A and B are shown apart, each in its own frame.
Chain A
Amino acid sequence: EAGVAQSPRYKIIEKRQSVAFWCNPISGHATLYWYQQILGQGPKLLIQFQNNGVVDDSQLPKDRFSAERLKGVDSTLKIQPAKLEDSAVYLCASSFAGGGHYGYTFGSGTRLTVV
């Protein structure tokens, strides 16, 4: 079974620039999550999709972050404009509907450095 694919693996941008991350979940997984992991902290949920609908985006800074999941498969997360504090690893995860019982699979993440 193929895992959760994320790209790019690394990205360095200047503050106020924009950046986009891509995630391809495991085939058949209805639920997709984007997490932000700042150095030295645990992952924090940014947004959760069920198919192509948003379930939870309460911790997404909507003035600069946006995400979409067209056709209920791939997803992109965008930051515009980036701030220094956005430097983090952005993890994508997916699961069957039902979440915890079926488990979650994480991608390798995108490490973003804002300078």
Chain B
Amino acid sequence: AQSVTQLDSQVPVFEEAPVELRCNYSSSVSVYLFWYVQYPNQGLQLLLKYLSGSTLVKGINGFEAEFNKSQTSFHLRKPSVHISDTAEYFCAVSDAGGTASKLTFGTGTRLQVTL
């Protein structure tokens, strides 16, 4: 079984400041890793994903994440946040070897950007 731990339930940050949202996972098999963003009353939008190769993954809206296999982490970063980045962020994992793999989500981190 796989699990995802998002260490911070809420992260307050000022506009134009850098931010890091932390994610750790547990799995006995190789995994794919994902970050999704959810704006109020909307579905989940993919920010970025790690499948293989370079451990630094760049996504939409200036976000990036780094896969660290030894620490089983996949932290999300942005060097300068904007008010519009205020949303709920979910880290998720799926089995890399499965033919019909489900996503297992963390509990989410609420990013609150203020002026």
Q: A and B, one complex?
A: yes
Instruction: Show 20 residue pairs from A and B whose CB-CB distance is below 8 angstroms, ordered by the A residue.
Output: A33-B103, A40-B108, A42-B4, A43-B90, A43-B103, A48-B100, A56-B102, A91-B44, A93-B44, A99-B100, A99-B102, A100-B32, A100-B34, A100-B51, A100-B98, A103-B46, A104-B34, A104-B46, A106-B36, A106-B43
A104 touches B103 (CB 8 A): yes
B99 touches A98 (CB 8 A): yes
Q: For B34, what are the chain A residues with a Cβ–Cβ distance below 8 Å?
A: 100, 104
**Does any Cβ of B come within 8 Å of A97's Cβ?**
yes
Q: Which residues of B contact A (CB under 8 A)?
A: 4, 6, 32, 34, 36, 41-46, 49, 51, 90, 92, 94-96, 98-108
Complex CA gap A87/B102 in Å reads 23
Assuming A42-B6, A43-B44, A100-B94, what are 4 further A-B pairs, CB within 8 angstroms?
A4-B43, A43-B105, A50-B100, A107-B43
**Does any Cβ of B come within 8 Å of A108's Cβ?**
yes
Complex CA gap A20/B42 in Å reads 20
Q: For B96, what are the chain A residues with a Cβ–Cβ distance below 8 Å?
A: 100-101
**Does any Cβ of B come within 8 Å of A31's Cβ?**
yes
B105 touches A97 (CB 8 A): no
Interface bracket on A:
20 to 34
**Does any Cβ of B come within 8 Å of A60's Cβ?**
no
Smallest CB-CB separation from A96: which chain B residue?
B100
Q: For B99, what are the chain A residues with a Cβ–Cβ distance below 8 Å?
A: 97-99
Q: Which of B41, B44, B51, B105 contacts A44 (CB 8 A)?
A: B105
Identify which of A40, A43, A45, A108 gathers the most chain B CB atoms within 10 Å of its CB: A43
B44 touches A100 (CB 8 A): no
Complex CA gap A54/B110 in Å reads 33
Q: For A30, what are the chain B residues with a Cβ–Cβ distance below 8 Å?
A: 100
**Does any Cβ of B come within 8 Å of A109's Cβ?**
yes
